[in-house]
Structure 1
Amino acid sequence: MSNTMMGVLVCGVVGALLLSFGLRDAARVRRLRRHGIRTTGMVVDNVRVQEPRSSSPSWAPVIAFADQQGYRVEFTPSMRGAGMGLPTGRQVAVVYLPHNPQVARVFTRRHMTGPVFFIVAMGLLFLGMSVAIAVTG
């Protein structure tokens, strides 16, 4: 198998996987918007997170809320980075699925759709690279 064909195959597979993960996450966001229970949570901590491919650590908020049965649930939003931080002590809108409160999100446009757009964009980028390699190779 030639290097060109291998590049097309790898980029195509990675792009297709990322696109499928993005579409699955979009379906989750849709379920949260339609069937999710909205409540208020509190940022109880900010924990230091070392990303595998990053040399510097980042901070991720830990958000706590009470589900329908009154149980305390804690989660960390998947979307992190510049402009995504939440200070400790801040109250935030939260949405979760009644049968699975661990699948919760901060109920803002940025936290709901940010991960979907990022994953889909990366999938399209890899698929585009696959096509570019195929055309130029």
Structure 2
Amino acid sequence: MGALVCSVVGGLLLWAGLYDAARVRRLRRHGIRTTGRVVDNVRVQEPRSSSPSWAPVIAFADQHGYRVEFTPSMRGAGMGLPTGREVDVVYLPHNPQVARVFTRRHMTGPVLFIMAMGLLFLGLGVVIGVTG
């Protein structure tokens, strides 16, 4: 039973990673690049973490001049951005809420993390299946 659960979770995580990779590809090919500013850093309590982390809130103007704010999905050590810093942002014209900071680690970091977790769970499923 454990092997099946791990394999299903691993498969779902790999699917989510591939979906996110396709989104990053669309952002790189069709995204509008602009400059945003870190307007705040908010305290975020992750469900499985005992200590809170800080997430930057980035604001930019979309192609129509509307203010859009977003928080990057990738957080953790080395991912923080100080308040007031200008950053390059990329977003899709039809959906500016799905924006990313246009750096290698903010664009590909979430994809790599999700896919690594998927492979870990699939590997665990195989190990449990073989030894159980």
Q: What range is the shorter-chain TM-score in?
A: over 0.9
- Which structure's CA Rg is the greater one? 1
The aligned residue for residue 65 of structure 2 is 70
CA apart distance, 1:105: 0.1
Q: Matched residue of 2:106: which SS?
A: helix
- Superposed counterparts of 1:54-69, under 5 Å: 54-69=49-64
2: CA distance between counterparts of 1:116 and 1:103? 15
2: CA distance between counterparts of 1:45 and 1:133? 45
* Number of residue pairs aligned between Structure 1 and Structure 2: 132
TM-score w.r.t. length of structure 1:
0.96
2: CA distance between counterparts of 1:118 and 1:13? 17
Q: Matched residue of 2:98: which SS?
A: strand
1: CA distance between counterparts of 2:2 and 2:16? 21
Structure 1 runs of 4+ with >2 Å offset = none
Q: Are 2:13 and 1:22 aligned? A: no
- Superposed counterparts of 1:51-130, under 5 Å: 51-130=46-125
CA apart distance, 1:129: 0.4
Q: Percent sequence identity over matched residues?
A: 88
User: What root-mean-square deviation, in Å, do the aligned CA atoms of Structure 1 and Structure 2 show?
Assistant: 0.3
2: CA distance between counterparts of 1:78 and 1:134? 33
Code of the aligned partner of 1:40: T
TM-score w.r.t. length of structure 2:
0.99
The aligned residue for residue 48 of structure 1 is 43
Deviations 1:29-86 (A, max 9, x none): 0000000000000000000000001111000000000000000000000000000000
CA apart distance, 1:24: 0.2
CA apart distance, 1:11: 0.1
